[in-house]
A and B are shown apart, each in its own frame.
Chain A
Amino acid sequence: DAMVIQNPRYQVTQFGKPVTLSCSQTLNHNVMYWYQQKSSQAPKLLFHYYDKDFNNEADTPDNFQSRRPNTSFCFLDIRSPGLGDAAMYLCATSLQGDYGYTFGSGTRLTVV
Chain B
Amino acid sequence: SQKIEQNSEALNIQEGKTATLTCNYTNYSPAYLQWYRQDPGRGPVFLLLIRENEKEKRKERLKVTFDTTLKQSLFHITASQPADSATYLCALGDTDKLIFGTGTRLQVFP
Report whether A45 and B102 are in contact in the complex, using a CB–CB cutoff of 8 Å: no
Give the residue name and chain of the A residue nearest to B47 (CB).
A100
Report the interface size class on chain A: 20 to 34
Q: Give a binary string over A4-32; 1 marks a CB under 8 Å from any B CB, 0 the rest.
A: 10100000000000000000000000010
Q: Give a binary string over A49-86; 1 marks a CB under 8 Å from any B CB, 0 the rest.
A: 01000000000000000000000000000000000000
Report whether A43 and B44 are in contact in the complex, using a CB–CB cutoff of 8 Å: yes
* Cα-based distance from A75 to B21 in the complex (angstroms): 35
- Interface residues, chain A, with chain B CB atoms under 8 Å away: 4, 6, 31, 35, 40-45, 48, 50, 88, 90, 92, 94, 96-106, 108
- Interface residues, chain B, with chain A CB atoms under 8 Å away: 4, 31-32, 34, 36, 41-47, 49, 51, 89, 93, 96-103
Partner of A106, one of B4, B41, B93, B97: B41
Between-chain CB contacts (< 8 Å), 23 pairs: A4-B43, A41-B102, A42-B4, A42-B89, A42-B100, A42-B103, A43-B100, A44-B100, A45-B97, A50-B96, A96-B96, A98-B32, A98-B49, A98-B93, A99-B49, A100-B46, A100-B47, A100-B49, A101-B44, A101-B98, A103-B45, A106-B42, A108-B41
A112 to chain B, nearest CB (A): 19
A4 to chain B, nearest CB (A): 8
A9 to chain B, nearest CB (A): 9
What A residues does B89 contact at CB under 8 A? 42-43
Q: Nearest 6 A-B pairs (CB), nearest first?
A: A103-B43, A100-B46, A42-B100, A98-B32, A42-B102, A43-B100
